[in-house]
């Protein structure tokens, strides 16, 4: 059925499942807002009661219903399986899932503020504090939950990130790429070491714990002083370094996107004029890493190789971000080319990148 008014569609579904009452609708105690992104999302505010976040699969998006199904399974498991207790503080509460309608209802984080909004205040103490909290939160569920092993095979397919297909001699994605991404593939294919590195990283990939799979600033909220992680559509059993690397790449993208690339400006001069200098982000990056590594309970000697792997997978995540941003673009933006080169530099020498990006030596990595 096609609804002329999507708000009426939301009310119909909520009413039919006993999640709102006729009386509250008539009394005007329900307010709905369309907050769609990749999926069809709606915020539902209820006077005097907790609100809902309602997600419908976007029929125009391939696999949309499948990813919502996986997200719903994750929320249900966290609510009902003690195995996932370490995840509970991070997720909104599960409310309802209807597989036929491909509709998920979870708690609405009404007083949440975006993680990025905290960072934009440019208060180094606040930035470091929320980064440390994020590191602790990720480390807690990555290292504090027993290895998943072969549990829940129907929920978690144990896929590796699609970015690893960049290592294929003739990536299938080339058939569907626009001019910008064809340009990107051409640059990647010119680096033989890149393909060797991806093959090695793929061989080192671990399917050992629950990972979010799509961590970025947009999927992080701060509510009542606590980190909440949303949009679990890509949740899977995988390598924790992908999540940690995704956090690092979010900071790096913020820095790189602030570098004014124009005309014949020398790169060193442009980097020096970055609106968000890397040095200003290093305290938060270090706070995140120290908190994350502390939760691992690993010996100090493991800090550098673990961080190098996180950086390498973060560079892979940056390549994925560039691709997704340029699906229909006629050419790569200057900032994208800069980011692409930064990713290749990290992959070529992650050990050197550790000191460059974090500004730390061996003695302080595990502090």
Task: Over range 327-333, report the average pLDDT.
Answer: 91
Which pLDDT band, with edges at 50, 70 and 90, does 95 fall under? very high
Structure confidence at residue 175 (pLDDT): 64
Which three-class secondary structure state does DSSP give residue 37?
A: coil
| CATH ID of 113-364, from 2.40.110.10, 3.90.1200.10, 1.10.540.10, 1.10.8.640 | 3.90.1200.10
Share of the chain above pLDDT 70, in %: 94
Fold adopted by 6-107 = Phosphorylase Kinase; domain 1 (3.30.200)
Residue environment code for 117-132, b if the CB has 16+ CB neighbours within 10 A, otherwise e? ebbeeeeeeebbebbb
Structure confidence at residue 60 (pLDDT): 77
Euclidean distance between the first and the last CA atom of the chain, given in angstroms as a whole number: 58
Provide the strand spans (E) within 257-324: none
Q: Per residue in 124-173, pLDDT tens?
A: 888 899 999 999 999 999 998 878 878 888 888 999 999 998 877 555 66
Contacts of residue 187, Cβ cutoff 8 Å, sequence gap at least 6? 337, 340
Q: Decide if pLDDT at 361 tops 70.
A: no
The whole-angstrom separation of Cα 240 and Cα 212 is 9
Quick one: 365 exposed, middle or buried, by C-beta within 10 A (0-12, 13-18, 19+)? buried
Q: Name residue, tokens 């934009």.
A: 120
User: DSSP string of 204-249?
Assistant: H----EEE-S---GGGEEEETTEEEE---TT-EEE-HHHHHHHHHH
Structure confidence at residue 363 (pLDDT): 57
Residue 155 carries which DSSP code? T
Structure confidence at residue 197 (pLDDT): 94
The whole-angstrom separation of Cα 98 and Cα 46 is 21
Average model confidence (pLDDT) across the chain: 90
Which pLDDT band, with edges at 50, 70 and 90, does 241 fall under? very high
Chain-centre distance for alpha carbon 282: 20
Structure confidence at residue 163 (pLDDT): 92
Which three-class secondary structure state does DSSP give residue 367?
A: coil
Diameter of the chain measured on Cα atoms = 66
User: DSSP string of 50-89?
Assistant: EEEEEEE--TTSTTHHHHHHHHHHHHHHHHH-GGGGGGGG
pTM for this entry: 0.93
Q: Decide if pLDDT at 119 tops 90.
A: no
β-bridge mates for residue 40, sequence order: 56
Q: Is the distance from CB of 195 to CB of 167 less than 8 angstroms?
A: yes
Structure confidence at residue 172 (pLDDT): 60
Q: Decide if pLDDT at 257 tops 80.
A: yes
Task: Over range 40-45, report the average pLDDT.
Answer: 94
Q: Taking the domains of the chain in order of start, what are their residue ranges?
A: 6-107, 113-364
Q: Which helix (H) or strand (E) holds 142?
A: helix 124-143
Q: Which helix (H) or strand (E) holds 285?
A: helix 278-296
Q: Decide if pLDDT at 1 tops 50.
A: no
| CA dihedral over 73, 64, 336, 115, signed as positive or negative | negative
Structure confidence at residue 59 (pLDDT): 81
């Amino acid at each position: 059925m096609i609804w002329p008014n999507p708000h009426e569609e939301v009310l119909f579904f909520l009413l039919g499942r006993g999640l709102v009452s006729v009386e509250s609708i008539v009394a005007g105690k329900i307010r709905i807002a369309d907050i769609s992104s990749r999926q069809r999302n709606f915020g539902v505010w209820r006077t005097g009661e907790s609100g809902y976040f309602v997600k419908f699969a976007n029929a125009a998006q391939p696999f949309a219903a499948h990813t919502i199904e996986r997200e719903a399974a994750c929320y249900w498991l966290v609510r009902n399986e003690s195995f996932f207790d370490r995840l509970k503080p991070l997720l909104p509460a599960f409310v309802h899932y209807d597989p036929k309608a491909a509709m998920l209802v979870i708690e609405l984080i009404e007083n949440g503020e975006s993680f990025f909004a905290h960072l934009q205040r440019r208060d180094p103490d606040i930035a470091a504090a929320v980064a440390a909290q994020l590191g602790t939160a990720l480390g807690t569920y990555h290292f504090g939950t027993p290895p998943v092993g072969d549990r829940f095979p129907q929920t978690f397919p144990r896929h590796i990130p699609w970015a690893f297909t960049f290592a294929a001699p003739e990536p299938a994605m080339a058939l569907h790429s626009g001019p910008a991404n064809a340009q990107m593939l051409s640059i990647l294919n010119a680096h033989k070491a890149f393909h060797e590195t991806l093959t090695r990283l793929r061989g080192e990939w671990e399917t050992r714990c629950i990972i979010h799979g799509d961590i970025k600033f947009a999927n992080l909220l701060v509510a009542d002083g606590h980190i909440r992680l949303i949009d679990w559509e890509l949740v899977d059993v995988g390598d924790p370094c992908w999540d940690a690397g995704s956090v690092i790449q979010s900071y790096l993208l913020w820095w790189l996107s602030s570098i004014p690339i124009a005309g014949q400006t020398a790169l060193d001069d442009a980097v020096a004029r970055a609106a968000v200098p890397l040095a200003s982000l290093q305290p938060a990056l270090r706070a995140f890493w120290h908190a994350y590594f502390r939760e691992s309970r690993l010996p100090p000697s493991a800090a550098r190789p673990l961080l190098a792997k996180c950086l390498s997978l973060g560079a892979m995540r940056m390549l994925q971000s560039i691709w997704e941003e340029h699906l229909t673009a006629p050419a790569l933006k200057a900032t994208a080319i800069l980011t692409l080169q930064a990713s290749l530099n990290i992959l070529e020498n992650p050990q050197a990148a550790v000191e460059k990006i974090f500004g730390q030596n061996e003695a302080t990595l595990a502090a």
